[in-house]
Structure 1
Amino acid sequence: MQIPIKITDKDGLEEWVMLELQGDLQSRTQSEMQNKFIGDLHFTKEGIPILIIGHHILYGKLQDLDKCYAVMRKTRVDNKKNMNVEVDGLENLPEDIPREKPCVEYTIRAIVKKKLLFKTRPKPIIASMQNTK
Structure 2
Amino acid sequence: MYSEGVNLVIRCHVSFSDGLNEYMLIELQGTIENYGEPLAGRVLGTLVWHKDKNEALLQIGHHLLEGKASELEKPLLLMKPSPPNQHFEERTMIVEAVIKRRLLFKNRPKPFTLAPKADH
Check if 1:71 corresponds to 2:41: no
Q: Alpha carbons of 1:129 and 1:46: their partners in 2 closer, same or farther (altered >3 Å)?
A: farther
Once the two structures are superposed, residues 14-35 of structure 1 have per-residue CA deviations (whole angstroms, 9 ceiling, x without a partner) of 11101110111013x3433343
Which of these residues, 36, 46, 55, is aligned with residue 42 of structure 2?
A: 36
Structure 2 residue 97 is the aligned partner of structure 1 residue 110: yes
Determine what percentage of the aligned residue pairs are the same residue: 28
5 Å-filtered alignment, 1:7-22, equals 11-12=17-18, 13-22=20-29
Distance 2:94 2:56 in 1: 30
Structure 2's unaligned 5+ residue stretches are 1-14
Question: RMSD of the alignment, in Å?
Answer: 2.6
TM-score (norm 1): 0.65
- Find the structure with the greater CA-based Rg: 1
Aligned residue pair count: 103
CA distance, structure 1, for counterparts of residue 16 and residue 113 of structure 2: 48
Query: What is the TM-score normalised by the length of structure 2?
Result: 0.71
Q: Which stretches in structure 1 are left out of the alignment for 5+ residues?
A: 1-8, 81-101
The letter for the 1-side match of 2:17 is D
